[in-house]
Amino acid sequence: MDLTAAYRARLDRVLRYLDENPDGPQDLETLSGIAAFSKFHFQRQFSAFFGLSAGAYGQRLRLLRAAQWLAYYPKRRVLEIALDSGYAGPEAFARAFRQLFGQSPSAFRAAPDWPSWHAATQAIQEVRMTQARRDYTPSDVEIVDFPATPLMVLMHRGDPAILGETIRRFIAWRRAHKLPPQRFATFNLAYDDPATTPPEAYRFGLGVATHQNYPPDESGVEPLTIPAGRCAKIRQIGPDSGIAGAVLYLYRAWLPQSGLSPRDFPLFFQRVTLFPDVLEAEMVTDIFLPV
């Protein structure tokens, strides 16, 4: 490993620690010790590489988790979320939350400003994307016979920045129909690549596996079946920022060497574990490419 890569690897250790321990000690002594850098220079070193301080990165992780609790878990009290986010009380929490999202926690819960949430999330994802990507190999890909799987699906159409509102509606529909993720598998249908698709044309399906037929209603949730057939499967562990690397490997490296061609059905994901039920670092996503 060259000197620059070795230097960078020490900072990456801090990122991994913050992702895996959002509620753990994040004082200067702890973080500089993980990087094995002088505490007198660590903050400048971290900021020079990632564009924000380690403290700001850790705080943003906790506030993004708090925003998801507010939006998706209506029974959780604001005080409880404030304390679980590391704040001594709701006032300090509200100040930090408003500074990042431009809304109070109660206002965000009532009507989230999703573009602000998306911008904050993107800043975190951009930092993570600078980390060394995992090197996938053919042994990471498994050919599976995927069974026909009936879903109820809510389609998101439009800007990815407001996908959170569609997720919120879908979670509410699942709760109303008693389809918890612990018992009914969660799927996503990745019709379009957000990096190359105009925002107004972007489509993304949110699905739950169920054999129950539900009549059409104003929710927009409709039946759709993932057809039976062969799929290339690759598992991604960690934040969603790592999904792009796994998908790129499938299309750019694995598929040309496989001698196979994609079937006429979109790429889809099974969300084995979901944030904020688990830490982002512990999320498990199975990616399926129909072939």
Residue-wise pLDDT tens digits, 99-147: 999 999 999 999 999 999 999 998 898 888 877 667 899 999 999 999 9
Q: Which helix (H) or strand (E) holds 31?
A: helix 28-35
pLDDT at position 201 is 97
- How far apart, in Å, are the Cα atoms of 28 and each of 31, 49, 194? 5, 17, 37
pLDDT tens-place string over residues 234-279: 999 999 989 999 999 999 999 999 999 999 999 999 999 998 888 8
End-to-end CA, the chain: 38
pTM here? 0.90
pLDDT at position 132 is 61
pLDDT at position 277 is 85
Q: Which helix (H) or strand (E) holds 120?
A: helix 114-129
- Percent of the chain residues topping a pLDDT of 70: 98
Q: What are the residues whose beta carbons fall under 8 Å from the beta carbon of 89, sequence distance 6 or more?
A: 79, 82, 83
* Cβ–Cβ under 8 Å, residues 276 and 69: yes
Q: Kindly state the average pLDDT of the residues 50-58.
A: 91
Strands 222-226 and 284-290: unpaired
* Cβ–Cβ under 8 Å, residues 20 and 281: yes
Strands 229-237 and 203-209: unpaired
Q: What are phi and psi of 188, to 5 degrees?
A: -125, 140
Confidence at 3, pLDDT banded by 50, 70, 90: low
pLDDT of residue 184 exceeding 80, the answer is yes
- How far apart, in Å, are the Cα atoms of 224 and each of 187, 189, 219? 11, 11, 15
Confidence at 80, pLDDT banded by 50, 70, 90: very high
Q: Please provide the DSSP assignment of 204-231 as one string.
A: EEEEEE--------TT--EEEEEPPEEE
Question: What's the mean per-residue pLDDT of the chain?
Answer: 93
Residue listed under structure tokens 């999330």: 121
Angstrom distance (rounded) from CA 290 to CA 266: 7
Residue listed under structure tokens 């499938």: 250
Least confident of 47-51, 101-105, 201-205: 47-51
pLDDT at position 215 is 86
pLDDT of residue 231 exceeding 90, the answer is yes
Q: What are the residues whose beta carbons fall under 8 Å from the beta carbon of 114, sequence distance 6 or more?
A: 161, 162, 163, 164, 165
